[in-house]
Structure 1
Amino acid sequence: MPGRVSARASRASTGQAAPTRKSSTQTLKSARSSTDHRASSSPVADVPDEGASTALRKHIGAIFSDSQKSTTGHRKLVINLRKIQEACCYEPTSKKGRQDDQFDEEDFNNEFLRCILRLLPIRKSEAAGDRVVRFLGVFLRVASDKDNALLADQQDEDTTTLPETPTSRLSNLIFSALLQFFNAKDKVVRFRATQITSHMINILDALDDQLYHVLRLALLKRIHDKEASVRMHAIYGLTRLAADVESSEPEASDSEDDSGAAGVLEKLLILLQNDPSAEVRRSLLLNLPLVPKTLPYLLERARDQDAATRRALFARLLPALGDFRHLSLTHREKLLRWGLRDRDEAVRKATAKLFRERWIEDCAKLPAAGGADDAEGAKKDATAAAAPSIEALLELLERIDVTNSAANGVALEAMLEFWEGRPDYVSDMDFGPTYWEELTPESVFVVRTFNDFCRKSENRDAREQGRLMDLLEGKMPEVTRFGFLLEREIKALVDTVQRAASGGPDGDGDEDAEEESVSREFVVEQMLAMASTFDYSDEVGRRKMFGLLRDATAMPELPEEATKLVVEVLRLVCGDDNQGKGEREFCGVVLEAIAEVHDTIMGEDEKEKSEEGDESFHSARSELSAGSGKGRKKVVQDADGDMSMDDGVDEEKAIREIMVNMKCLHIAQCMLQNVQCDLEANVHLVTMLNNLVVPAVRSQEAPIRERGLICLGLCCLLGKNLAQENLTLFLHCFAKGHPELQIIAIQILTDILTTHPSLLAPSPSETDASTLDASPLLKPVLKTFSRALKSESPEVQSTGATALSKLMLSQLITDTDILRQLIITFFDPDTSTNAQLRQALSYFLPVYCHSRHDNAVRVVQVATGVISRVGGMREAFIEEMDDEGGEMVTTAFVGGLLVDWTDPRKIVGREALLGLSREAEGEKTCTHLLLAEQILERMVTGQTSKDERRVLFGMLGKLHLAGKGQGLEAIKTVLELLAEATEGKVAGDATGRNVLAKMQGSLLKLVHDAVGVERGVEGTEVDATSLTAMATPGRVKGRGRRSEDIKEEEEEEEDEVTMQLRREMEGTKIEKEDGEESKLTVIGEGKEEESVIDTSQLPSEKKMQSLMESLDDEDEDL
């Protein structure tokens, strides 16, 4: 920190060092070069001899000392320091006053630099250092401006060189001194040197050319510093230089280091993408110049892993970017999707605010942007929001391409956030009759989102919801009127589709009609989405919508998405009751529509054939092709010259049949997705199954067969018997089908098993009715999912993993082998590029383990096998890494995840588990205790490599074995394995032995707690044999003596028990021979058993005596 002088001394010499008042015609006293500064000003551990203290040093030191206290007095301090600089650097105009204490410019610069160098060792956490740096910047700015003003009259108008002033020489001196500390070993010194340099670069208006290149090279080296704070401030300085470097031509340099000729901006962009520090990336994001070259890299930070960086993009950078319409349509759509679906709430709020406040204002244009005044002539506030404008809102939706972005929900989410944050637009909207005269995709989307917003009742009180519903009813047309509007739009859509299919003048489709059909389809879809939210208690409106939707379902030209929405709304209009009358009516109407579609398309074919025959009969010389458009047949000449139409007719007929069947199957699929009745109880569904679905499944055409399988799967959800009969069919489809068919089969299998879980339930054995055998379907189902996880298709893999996740979470599949394969697939390097699979499993595995205790136990059972398999995979991966590249997690990381997944503290319902009875508690053993048993058994009985043992010991050290509810039998088992591992010298290093010793101590504590709980809760006595056996990690089963009524025991009997316990402990012999382990012989009451165990970790004799005394106290309490 800058040297502090006494306030009294500084006040006493103020009059001596204060400069006199000067006129504007001052002349320079000294122009000495700044390179002649004293080398003794470098900061070292011991302050060197700097000579006698002078008045100038006291004044400057006092000013710097005051500047570190607070920033409020910096302006006054800058004025005082400037006066001192003028006194030292300029000749006074008056000869009055004392002249013996005058100092020159070199003295001032050296004293100034002395204070700056004292700042270098100040740590980053000290706010005083940052205040001094800020004070330095303010002084240099003020002093530079005043120097330039004084020299303005002396310079020629044609002078283009940088004027040399006292402040510029002072700045060069500071730069030259600080550059020496850029490579210092002390990170604090490097940080302060870089901070001061970058701050000065951003403060000064101009730099010397030679110094400019030196600073650029020095800062480019610091962007690779290992300290993030140094890199951040180096970036702060380089971003100021980036624009100048790009505009100037690179110059050659003889330096061995990077000369910066390749461009500062490119290096900063690389750093923006790859720097590990979030602060550095955020600093680059906010300081890089906003030019077309940097804009794509800046917008990439919307996917940054740091939430604060993403929030800075949406809250600070994009609002400052200007008119959003300069961005491309792709960038707008991606920014909305990434921001509104971000996992951080603050980022979502910032994106919503950007959309409803900045982007809408860019379309509406701020009222004061053009400098216009209001009617009264008062100047408007340029920052005030524009009045609600429907034209601006429509333009905003057009700018984000609502026709395409609404499909995946981005525009819908954006508009819901818009209505939530703009109540002025909510109250100002007017959907009168003129609004519905000519609907566009944007205008109908405004109504649809407004309807959804008003009907959404989440996070609202009843009063607010009632107000919005009243507002909606006043603005929306009634159901009958809406039905007529929907009928008009559906008719316009059908006409447009027919016109687009009829072909243009060149025989191809009409492009304008195709574009119009897309817009018309979007309008119909949005109106149907609104219709699905209406209340059809009004019978007149319900009948109008029912007739309209019934006719629309039978329209073959209606697109598939619109047909799906029509069927869904029709199901809502039909209603439902307890007897299922609504569903039967719905199924009957849809089946009639399917028959009408089939008859309409095939009837047109027959009509065209008859017209063609009549025309050929009346005119033999007419063309053999009759009609026009789609019905036109072309004559085909074969290789022998014979004219034949059979091939063309057959091909067109086959295509027409495929189109008919696909349309009918699609309508049937939409119907099946909206019914829940029993399949066998609905005659309409049985008829459709036999006449439409089953022939489609047997078809030779792949598209028809796939859609038929989907419909058959939906039928199986409505009937268990049908599902049981066709389950093998779907298994066969997966085994023999292509990837698309395999995905369909897996999805159908999952839905069937979820809907009918009894299909996999155990069945009574044929030989013994009292026993249960596994379901015969379980093995082929597990084999199918196992093959899906091994598939070469990433889509099949991810679909299989997602399906397995659902079935295992619902406890329909509990097989540990498939669980082991699922976990290994998650860590397999071959699946590293399958993001969908990794994302699904990264969510499933923790949820699966923490949702149930039994699930965590299953993971414990496969943990050691997973470690062994992943270890082998990693060895093979390392051997092939040089050729193929890639990344794979380490085995230690896998072990850490397994320990975390099986942590008993994270299992849901653990508090209730601790309160179970002793019998239930024995069944619910601590998962980490079971994991310790599995790990120790693996190391004792199996052959493990050195790396695997290191991982297993690391897992043992992370286990949580403390807490209540630990069973004695489980603890004893682990103690036996622990003694066996110690005796077998499994731990080959000190780390492993320490882990075993620590676990032994934890288990002994658990023994003591378990015995105390057993005595206090159940009122049992544990004799010396039982306690001694459990207190030592041996393979001895202690025998307890249970009392029926403790209260009736006499004082003499308790003394006998205590004396017996002491005699047995005294009879315990600990022998240790040279080169052998310590042995402990335990003799139990009534029966002698001998166990050899390791006693190297047992307490001393004095500690054993104190333990016996504590046990005596416990017996007295009982």
Structure 2
Amino acid sequence: MVDVADLHEILQDASAEPPANDEGFHRDKNVQKLQALYDETPCMEELQTALVGAMTDDRRGKVSAAIDRVLEVVSAVQYSTDDVLEVLRFGIRCSQADDKQIRLRSIQLLALLLHHIPEIPDSIWDELVDSMIVRVRDKVIAIRVQSILVLKRLQQPDLQDDVVTAALLRLAVVDTSKEVRVAAVESVALTPMSVGDLLIRVRDISFDVRCAVFRSHVKDICTALDRMYLLDQGLQDRHEAVVSACQDMVLEWFHQCSDNPLELLAYLALDHPVCPLVLQFLFKKGAVATMPQVKSKALLGAPLSPIESFFWKEQCCYFKGDHDLVEEYCPALPPYCDLLRHLHDTLEEETTEKEATIRVGQHLLQLGTALDFQDEVGRRVLINLLREKLSDWQFQGEWVKDGVALLAMLSEEFEFIQYMTEITSDLYDAMQECESMSPTKRRAMSERLDEIDQRMDEAGVPTDEYDQLQAEGMALEKALEEPKTLRYLRCLELASKLLQYTRQSLKNAMIANVLHLILPAVDSDIPALREKGLECLGLYCLLDRKMALNHTIVFWRVLNADDEDGDSKHTCIRVLLDFFAAFKAFEITPVDEDDERVTSASILDGLATYFCVNENQMDAWDLQTQTLVVEGFIKLFLLKRIDDSSKLRAMMELYFHPILQQMIHSNDHGFCSETLQLLSVFYPAMANLQFDLMIETIRTIFSNSVYGLSSIPLDEAALYFLSIFPEKENAHNALSLQCCVEILAIAELKLKKTEKAALQKQWWTVLQALEWTGTNGRLVVLLEEVLTALKGVNDTTKFKARMQEVVQEPPTLTDEDTQWILNQVATRKDQLGQYKKKMSQTVQRREEIASDSEADEVEAKPVNREKTTRRSKQVATAKITLAEKEITISDGSDDEAAAEVEAISSENESDYE
């Protein structure tokens, strides 16, 4: 029989706070004492009784820390197999208690026990899983956290449908508590199936969760694309703690690669723009103790790999300002020119490693911008080399961009313009001497090539026939690439680079003369030439306002041509939006086109249709076009070129578009689409820049959502759009005025009480979420009137208490203020009164859908989801789908629906001040 006094003495000593710099001695001493007592006489019943007393103590501070120390000592004892089962079952039973403190401490004990025992008995495995799966939904955050620590040991990542891993992933994505999400991210097992959902958390609203992702060991299990996404988000995060966590992760990866930067780069995608940031951090940190001798290897004539050339480029760019190291790492101009010549000759000879050689050449040309150009002789040699190579129409196309950029840096602007015009003129003159293929023959070859592609895509094509078709197709493609077309494309490419790099206007005769080689390409029947010609014409027009005004209609016609290919249309969209962004008050001369008056306003309206707000299905071209147009309109709004509330409303509704919410790219693991990323950055910037326009637009969106004219879920829209304002007071007060006016106007309508209550409830929900203040006298009076109108509402107690806290003294209103309030309510009542029938139908549809959902629902559980910029896709999709069903207006003509939108939404843009 164990001495209970001895047991209590040990536990009492274990609960005591250890001295400073104890380093675990106090804990280990008590573990040994308890272990000796247990070995002498098993005392499970007495131990359980003692633990229950500690678990029921709900005091915090020192007492809570003391209980933690007791549980750590108890869990560290090595029990027999039977006693392990007994204490685990004791913890499971206690985890089902009504007392939250007992549930918390019992689950904490289970987590500590599982941490210490080497193997979990099979007989209790399922019981542990079932009990913890229930507890991860506990309303107490600390209990959910401790349950996650238990489930961490119960995962079976080898099973494809492991319920434990699935539960942890769910918590990492949708739990509302950042502490729970952090614990889930740190505990979930990394598998090829789970790593995608885990990486989504790098966009979490809490920086603690984002930091937790970077503490996960994901390097070897991620793809190169995933690793680049992780580094891109982390190294450029807005919070210093996240950047620091990502940098620690980079250092860990670097040490795993034996402190070899070349080995680390092998895990990354060199073309990604975040790769230079990784090397710059390592250089700044001084982590690269031994620099690879890439310079010596290159100058000795040994071939470089793309990884080595990339490292050398970044090394030279980073250390070019250090006079002590620049000579050690950067080559002089003469040997650099020899290296470029050697690489060019190697490319003409190679066949197998051509792609690698091309990438090495790109890196070396980019390296040239970091060299010392004080050697005038060497600089002239390099300029002549670049002019020589760019004059060759067979010069590698991937090198043209970097070659022109290096030439622009080496030369004065007037010299650069002269060099480029000479090169393009020589190529153009040589091109005109080449024989061209007849349009009939080219059309026939193109049609045959289309037939071959269509036949090869069919199923069941015999192997011999497939090989023959493939050989014929390759021969046709080669034949269609006639030298004259290729030469012309190179002329246009060089002309576009000239127009990009010059700061001269069209008053410069050499720049203006470029137009003679652009216009024939725009009229060409070859799509590639036409697309490049449109790009050059757009760049040319950006140098002169009058030229842009005269040629705008050209791009508009190409955009609306049915037989034009998608790439050319994208070029036209980009150019038109650039015109409006580059020139203030850009108004073209009206032109009649197909019985339609084309003006600047009509062009903007036409471009806005590519938002695809009302589209139920969009293909890849639609999504790409949507992103392009959204980006362009964002520039116009931020530059204050336009202030159209209807277009801004369309962009804001686009954020909640069902298709964008449902987008899941297999390679990107469901990351945000580019459109959503652009919009999430645009809204806060717009709220700071054009406050009144944003408030006006949000008012309209709220009205459309309440009255069934928009598919946007009101609760999500309100929660998100209210969070984008840097100064909450003015925004929340302005929107609170609208809510009050709407509630009072609905109260005066002749509707059924249930219908009034249903409509008022939505405005009341928004009003409760707003953080209004008592500084606006009109608002205070309206709030009091709303409380009077909503006497039957049960949840006004907290609202009244808040008013008493916020409103310190009764407001003083002038006759003008009183008349303003009366006019606002009366005007809104008249507007809504014209469409009472439609409003009643909207309420009825919502009630029908709600009743159907309740009847079909098997188990009603509240969905906890995170309200962040990067929202949970599944829940958002479900809500939007439901909202679409709710607001579908099946009756009424198009004219009536349009009139309703005009009355309920557009007229709602009154000034609530």
Q: CA deviation at 1:734?
A: 2.8
Q: Name the counterpart of 1:178.
A: 91
Separation of aligned partners in 2, 1:954 and 1:866: 15
* Equivalent AA in structure 2 for residue 696 of structure 1: A
1:17-38 superposed Cα distances (whole Å, 9 cap, x missing partner): xxxxxxxxxxxxx9xxxxxxxx
Change (3 A) 1:524 1:890: same
Q: Which one of 383, 386, 390 corresponds to residue 553 of structure 1?
A: 390
* Equivalent AA in structure 1 for residue 421 of structure 2: L
Change (3 A) 1:346 1:819: same
Q: Name the counterpart of 1:311.
A: 211
2:283 is the counterpart of 1:415: no
Q: Name the counterpart of 1:240.
A: 153
- Asked if the contact 1:1007–1:1031 (Cα under 8 Å) also holds between the matched residues in 2, the reply is no
TM-score, structure 2 as length reference: 0.71
1:169-228 superposed Cα distances (whole Å, 9 cap, x missing partner): 544443343333232222222222222233223323456654555445544554454544
Change (3 A) 1:411 1:840: closer
CA RMSD between the two structures? 4.5
Q: Could you tell which deviates more after superposition, 567-576 or 859-868?
A: 859-868
Q: Which one of 557, 576, 579 corresponds to residue 732 of structure 1?
A: 557
2:521 is the counterpart of 1:683: no
Change (3 A) 1:761 1:817: farther
Change (3 A) 1:135 1:186: closer
Q: CA deviation at 1:689?
A: 0.5
- Secondary structure of the 1:814 match is coil
* Equivalent AA in structure 1 for residue 15 of structure 2: Q
- Asked if the contact 2:148–2:168 (Cα under 8 Å) also holds between the matched residues in 1, the reply is no
2:420 is the counterpart of 1:590: yes
Q: Name the counterpart of 2:680.
A: 842
Change (3 A) 1:833 1:719: farther
Q: Name the counterpart of 2:329.
A: 475
* Equivalent AA in structure 2 for residue 787 of structure 1: T
* Equivalent AA in structure 2 for residue 723 of structure 1: A
Change (3 A) 1:732 1:937: farther
TM-score, structure 1 as length reference: 0.59
* Equivalent AA in structure 2 for residue 870 of structure 1: S
Q: Name the counterpart of 2:886.
A: none
* Equivalent AA in structure 1 for residue 217 of structure 2: L
- Secondary structure of the 1:425 match is coil
1:718-775 superposed Cα distances (whole Å, 9 cap, x missing partner): 1121111011222233333554333322221222222221424999xxxxxxxxxxx9
1:125-144 superposed Cα distances (whole Å, 9 cap, x missing partner): 55645655654554665555
2:217 is the counterpart of 1:395: no
Q: Name the counterpart of 1:1044.
A: none
Q: Which one of 563, 571, 576 corresponds to residue 408 of structure 2?
A: 571
1:29-85 superposed Cα distances (whole Å, 9 cap, x missing partner): x9xxxxxxxxxxxxxxxxxxxxxxxx9232322221221122553344344445544
- Asked if the contact 1:532–1:572 (Cα under 8 Å) also holds between the matched residues in 2, the reply is yes
1:216-256 superposed Cα distances (whole Å, 9 cap, x missing partner): 5544554454544334434434443546x979xxxxxxxxx
Q: CA deviation at 1:471?
A: 1.6
Q: Name the counterpart of 2:51.
A: 116
Q: Name the counterpart of 1:1056.
A: none
* Equivalent AA in structure 2 for residue 185 of structure 1: D
- Secondary structure of the 2:643 match is coil
**Which structure is larger by alpha-carbon Rg, 1 or 2?**
1
Q: Name the counterpart of 2:27.
A: 74
- Asked if the contact 2:655–2:679 (Cα under 8 Å) also holds between the matched residues in 1, the reply is yes
Change (3 A) 1:80 1:732: same
- Mapping 1:226-625, distance limit 5 Å: 226-242=139-155, 267=166, 271=170, 276=175, 278-280=178-180, 282-283=182-183, 285-287=185-187, 307-315=207-215, 317=217, 329=224, 332-333=227-228, 335-355=230-250, 357-364=251-258, 392-397=260-265, 399-400=266-267, 405-422=269-286, 425=289, 431-432=295-296, 435-438=299-302, 439-455=304-320, 468-493=322-347, 495-496=348-349, 500=351, 512=352, 516-576=353-413, 582=414, 585-598=415-428
Q: Name the counterpart of 2:629.
A: 800
Q: CA deviation at 1:589?
A: 2.0
1:995-1044 superposed Cα distances (whole Å, 9 cap, x missing partner): 89998998996965xxxxxxxxxxxxxxxxxx87579779899xxxxxxx
* Equivalent AA in structure 2 for residue 400 of structure 1: Y
* Equivalent AA in structure 1 for residue 263 of structure 2: E
Change (3 A) 1:993 1:899: farther
- Asked if the contact 2:270–2:307 (Cα under 8 Å) also holds between the matched residues in 1, the reply is no
Change (3 A) 1:58 1:1002: closer
- Secondary structure of the 1:673 match is helix
Separation of aligned partners in 1, 2:765 and 2:589: 40
Separation of aligned partners in 1, 2:733 and 2:196: 52
Separation of aligned partners in 1, 2:651 and 2:144: 42
Q: CA deviation at 1:866?
A: 1.8
- Secondary structure of the 2:571 match is helix
What are structure 2's unaligned runs of at least 5 residues?
19-24, 437-474, 591-596, 664-672, 824-913
- Secondary structure of the 1:184 match is coil
Q: Could you tell which deviates more after superposition, 562-571 or 835-844?
A: 835-844
Change (3 A) 1:590 1:284: same
- Secondary structure of the 2:215 match is helix
2:110 is the counterpart of 1:197: yes
* Equivalent AA in structure 2 for residue 396 of structure 1: L
Separation of aligned partners in 2, 1:651 and 1:112: 85
* Equivalent AA in structure 2 for residue 442 of structure 1: I
Change (3 A) 1:995 1:697: farther
Q: Name the counterpart of 1:673.
A: 500
* Equivalent AA in structure 1 for residue 98 of structure 2: K
- Secondary structure of the 2:97 match is coil
- Asked if the contact 2:393–2:427 (Cα under 8 Å) also holds between the matched residues in 1, the reply is yes
Separation of aligned partners in 1, 2:117 and 2:637: 66
Separation of aligned partners in 2, 1:126 and 1:994: 31
Separation of aligned partners in 1, 2:100 and 2:73: 26
Q: Name the counterpart of 1:722.
A: 547
- Asked if the contact 2:369–2:406 (Cα under 8 Å) also holds between the matched residues in 1, the reply is yes
2:609 is the counterpart of 1:783: no
Q: CA deviation at 1:486?
A: 2.1
- Asked if the contact 2:434–2:484 (Cα under 8 Å) also holds between the matched residues in 1, the reply is no
Separation of aligned partners in 1, 2:208 and 2:543: 50
1:362-387 superposed Cα distances (whole Å, 9 cap, x missing partner): 444xxxxxxxxxxxxxxxxxxxxx7x
Q: CA deviation at 1:991?
A: 6.6
- Asked if the contact 2:316–2:329 (Cα under 8 Å) also holds between the matched residues in 1, the reply is no
- Secondary structure of the 2:3 match is helix
- Secondary structure of the 2:515 match is helix
What are structure 1's unaligned runs of at least 5 residues?
1-29, 31-54, 90-104, 145-166, 248-260, 319-323, 365-385, 387-391, 456-464, 501-511, 577-581, 607-647, 764-774, 878-888, 907-925, 1009-1026, 1038-1118
Separation of aligned partners in 2, 1:600 and 1:517: 28
Q: Name the counterpart of 1:859.
A: 694
Count of residues paired in the alignment: 746
RCO greater where, 1 or 2, for CA within 8 Å and sep 6 or more?
A: 2
- Mapping 1:36-51, distance limit 5 Å: none
Separation of aligned partners in 1, 2:800 and 2:254: 66
- Mapping 1:160-179, distance limit 5 Å: 167-168=80-81, 170-179=83-92
Q: Name the counterpart of 1:17.
A: none
- Asked if the contact 1:902–1:928 (Cα under 8 Å) also holds between the matched residues in 2, the reply is no
Identity fraction in percent: 21
Q: Which one of 649, 655, 662 corresponds to residue 826 of structure 1?
A: 655
* Equivalent AA in structure 2 for residue 73 of structure 1: H
1:81-119 superposed Cα distances (whole Å, 9 cap, x missing partner): 4554455x3xxxxxxxxxxxxxxx5xx443222212212
- Mapping 1:1069-1088, distance limit 5 Å: none
2:490 is the counterpart of 1:663: yes
Change (3 A) 1:953 1:180: closer
Change (3 A) 1:270 1:602: same
- Asked if the contact 1:868–1:948 (Cα under 8 Å) also holds between the matched residues in 2, the reply is no
